[in-house]
Chains A and B, each alone.
Chain A
């Protein structure tokens, strides 16, 4: 559904994205992970025709993003990182206007709007100006708007940034229910647990390059399913092992001194990320 072939973007001399190639299958939820400034948003901008690649090609829903931008635009929905709803319009008007821009026939619009406002639990605020909405409400409306014209491919750029845990889980449920409807989703996040919860596969990019691509389970298995952290003088040293036994053995051996302590736990995607990018991040 999405294919990138050597996609590259330079802003002047600055390399934002370098030689990115991967494929996202129909109905897949694909996560693009990377530290701030890794090139996630630039990649999304290229895939959604907002920015032209310097070189390389990409196809979305079978259409070349440079040669057939209108065909690409017709088949995608976008929830950008910044909440770019029209604050001067009501929630309903925002969706109505969007539907018109995407040429939805009149008789479908009203039904779809009530359906989506219900889906994101905003029916009661439908006719209020968006200006007065909270961050979480805006985020949910943004996703509803992206879904309005029934896109086959959905781009979600940091869909839960700045949200409280409850709202975040609501949005996760929304995304899961999209998968069951066969929508292909490409999301970027720098919340690792989000990718772990939602994504069939994740691609990790750093400094504009793809450094790993697999399912969360496989990525963890490659690193070792169990992590040992040995604490020494206030610092944690981390090692990974395929089995709990090996991990325990290593821990016991290396936590010799009295002041030393160690713990064994299951590896998570954040470990993979840190090992690969060499950076810890929140």
Chain B
């Protein structure tokens, strides 16, 4: 149960910074909801629903991604390179998987907070979406996936600049391309299949289906789970290898 100790430490700063996290976490969703949901989306229908209802699951998915990736990746990078506090975990008599699980759960918590913020804001904007078990499971797995990716990238990348480069090259394009803002239906097949290589695509497909009451795409959920587990185990290996 060592991961609980690691998680508890994350919980401590989470509690201490809750209001800061809450308010800073509201800025991006407000901008996105205003620009796309309300500004652009008025009167537009997509896949048979209002654009606001269409885009909210996408915004939830991308925010869960951004928050959980950054909260784990950037802080890990700083704690390895600048404050060196990550060394305290490495010299402690606990296993690599406990470190990773504790840190990743910290990121999941942050992802959940940001998703909750958007859901509440979306209701204020008048979105009609369902919150059900499938939606919650998708948000959880998405946060877990990107928190694990943050862990993996944070373990591999050393310089802060490269961390930013990774975000620019992979995270930001995913935000816009993964079926978050537009429908993949009617895309050329090769474009759609490229987009399906991105993990966030599966998150937004699952979340949209769950929240709009459509049939839940089990295959996409399985792919999401596979990505999450691969990143999670890869980051355990990365932590183990850090002593070489």
B84 contacts A80, C-beta separation under 8 Å: yes
| Contact of B243 with A49 in the complex, beta carbons under 8 Å | yes
How many of chain A's residues have a CB under 8 angstroms from any CB in B?
A: 26
Of the stretches B37-45, B91-99, B140-148, B174-182, the one at the interface is B91-99
Contact residues in A for B20 (Cβ distance below 8 Å): none
Interface pair B93/A50, CB less than 8 Å apart: no
**Is B160's beta carbon under 8 Å from chain A?**
no
Interface residues of B (CB under 8 A from A): 2, 5, 8-9, 12-13, 16, 83-85, 87-95, 243-244
Which of B9, B16, B244 has most A Cβ within 10 Å?
Answer: B9
Q: Tell me if A36 is interfacial: C-beta within 8 Å of chain B.
A: no
Which of A52, A74, A76, A84 interacts with B88 by CB under 8 Å? A84
Shortest Cβ-Cβ A-B pairs, 8 listed:
A84-B84, A101-B92, A73-B93, A100-B5, A74-B93, A82-B84, A52-B244, A84-B85
Q: Which residue of A lies closest to B86 (CB)?
A: A84
Q: Which of A51, A69, A84 contacts B83, CB < 8 Å?
A: A84
Q: Is the CB of A97 within 8 A of B5?
A: yes
The residues in A between 76 and 98 inclusive whose CB is less than 8 angstroms from any CB of B are: 76, 78, 80, 82, 84-89, 93, 97-98
Closest residue on chain A to residue B242 by CB atoms: A50
Q: Which residues of B contact A49 (CB under 8 A)?
A: 90-91, 243
List residues of chain B with CB within 8 A of the CB of A211: none
Q: A52-B243, A52-B244, A100-B5 are in contact. Are A73 and B85 (CB under 8 A)?
A: no
CB distance from A130 to the nearest CB of B (A): 11
Query: Are A87 and B83 touching (Cβ within 8 A)?
Result: yes
Please report A residues at the B interface, Cβ cutoff 8 Å: 48-52, 69-70, 73-74, 76, 78, 80, 82, 84-89, 93, 97-98, 100-103
Given the known A-B contacts A82-B84, A97-B9, A101-B2, are A50 and B92 also in contact in the complex, defined by CB atoms under 8 Å? no
- Is the CB–CB distance between A50 and B91 below 8 Å? yes
Asked whether B243 lies within 8 Å of A50 as measured between CB atoms, the reply is yes
Q: For residue B4, which residue of chain A has the nearest CB?
A: A100
Contact B12 A48 (CB under 8 A): no
Contacts of B243 in A (CB 8 A): 49-52, 69
Query: What are the residues of chain A within 8 A of B90 when measuring CB–CB?
Result: 49-50
Residues of A within 8 A of B5 (CB): 97, 100-101
* A86–B92 CA distance with the chains assembled, in angstroms: 15
Instruction: List, in ascending order, chain B residues with CB within 8 A of A74's CB.
Output: 93
From B16, B91, B244, contact of A48 by CB (8 A): B91
Residues on A with beta carbons closer than 8 Å to the beta carbon of B88: 84, 86, 98, 101
A76 neighbours in B (Cβ, 8 Å): 91
Query: Shortest beta-carbon distance, B80 to chain A, in Å?
Result: 10
Q: Kindly provide the distance from the CB of B16 to the nearest chain A CB, expressed in whole angstroms.
A: 7
The reply to whether B92 and A102 form a contact with Cβ atoms under 8 Å apart is: yes
